[in-house]
Amino acid sequence: AQSVTQLGSHVSVSEGALVLLRCNYSSSVPPYLFWYVQYPNQGLQLLLKYTTGATLVKGINGFEAEFKKSETSFHLTKPSAHMSDAAEYFCAVSESGGSNYKLTFGKGTLLTVNP
Amino acid sequence: EAGVTQSPTHLIKTRGQQATLRCSPISGHTSVYWYQQALGLGLQFLLWYDEGEERNRGNFPPRFSGRQFPNYSSELNVNALELEDSALYLCASSRVWETQYFGPGTRLLVL
């Protein structure tokens, strides 16, 4: 069974400050890991994903995440927050193939960016 | 390239009625997934269809059902609606085993 824990349901940063959103996962098989962003009254937009290979993954809008197997973590970072980054962020895990291919999501982290 | 589309955007029903939600995948994608995003419950996997077959089902009662058509579009049906079915229903599509891309969702309100 898979699970995702996002530490902090709400993170507040100042514009220009570092953004760090934490995600820890549990998976019995090698995971695929994803970060999605949801703006108000919209669907989910893919920010970045890790499947295999390089553990530091770069995504859209200046975000990146690092897969750390030993820590079962996939934290999302951005060096400098922008007002437009304010949204809800979801970390998700899926198994790498098999009949159980579905996304299991964390509870989400609401990011607020203060001017 | 057009993204995943869903209709209607909003749907209001009363308890006991049936709701039908529709999803059109990205061209070339054969898999369609349905997720429920209910207040306080987060995003939960409902159903996965690929090549017209139901491949996986989440922990939802049988009154949640669906189908996938030959053109890969999909329908989600919710029978005997209950108040707690009020939620945002998200559809995603992918090539099989690949990244899922989401539509804008259908917001269902049950009165």
Q: In this complex, which of A36, A49, A99 lies closest to B55 when CB atoms are compared?
A: A99
Structure token digits, residue A110: 């609401």
Asked whether the beta carbons of residue B58 and residue A90 sit closer than 8 angstroms, the reply is no
Structure token digits, residue B28: 């070339």
Choose, out of B99, B107, B109, the residue to mutate when testing the contact with A (most A CBs < 10 Å).
Answer: B99
- A32 backbone dihedrals φ, ψ, rounded to 5°: -105, 140
Q: Is the pLDDT of residue A98 over 60?
A: no
The answer, yes or no, to whether the previous bond of B8 is cis (omega within 30 of 0) is: yes
* Residue A100 to chain B, least CA–CA distance (Å): 7
Residue B35 near chain A (CB below 8 Å): yes
What value does the mean pLDDT take over residues B20-33? Answer: 96
* Residue carrying the six token digits 């061209």: B27
What value does the mean pLDDT take over residues B66-84? Answer: 97
Strand partners, A4: A25
The pLDDT-based confidence of A94 (bands split at 50, 70, 90) is confident
Name chain B contacts of A92, Cβ cutoff 8 Å.
Answer: 43
Strand partners, B56: B48
Name chain A contacts of B45, Cβ cutoff 8 Å.
Answer: 102-104
Contact between A2 and A26 under an 8 Å Cβ cutoff? The reply is: yes
Predicted local confidence at residue A30, as pLDDT: 80
Q: How far from each other are the two terminal CA atoms of chain B, in whole angstroms?
A: 37
Cβ count within 10 A of residue B36 = 22
**Nearest residue on chain A to B54, alpha-carbon basis:** A99
What value does the mean pLDDT take over residues A83-93? Answer: 96
The answer, yes or no, to whether the previous bond of B70 is cis (omega within 30 of 0) is: no
More confident residue, A95 or A36: A36
What value does the mean pLDDT take over residues B45-64? Answer: 94
For A62-72, write each residue's pLDDT tens digit. 999 999 999 99
What value does the mean pLDDT take over residues B50-56? Answer: 92
Sequence-distant (≥ 6) Cβ neighbours of residue B95 within 8 angstroms: B28, B29, B30, B31
Predicted local confidence at residue B16, as pLDDT: 98
**Nearest residue on chain A to B98, alpha-carbon basis:** A97
What value does the mean pLDDT take over residues B17-43? Answer: 95
DSSP 8-state code for residue B83: G
The pLDDT-based confidence of A31 (bands split at 50, 70, 90) is confident
Contact between A103 and A44 under an 8 Å Cβ cutoff? The reply is: no
* Residue carrying the six token digits 């429920």: B36
Output the furthest CA–CA distance in chain B (Å, rounded). Answer: 39
DSSP track, A44-92: EEEEEEE-SS-SEEE-GGG-EEEEETTTTEEEEEESS--GGG-EEEEEE
Residue A8 near chain B (CB below 8 Å): no
Contact between A86 and A112 under an 8 Å Cβ cutoff? The reply is: yes
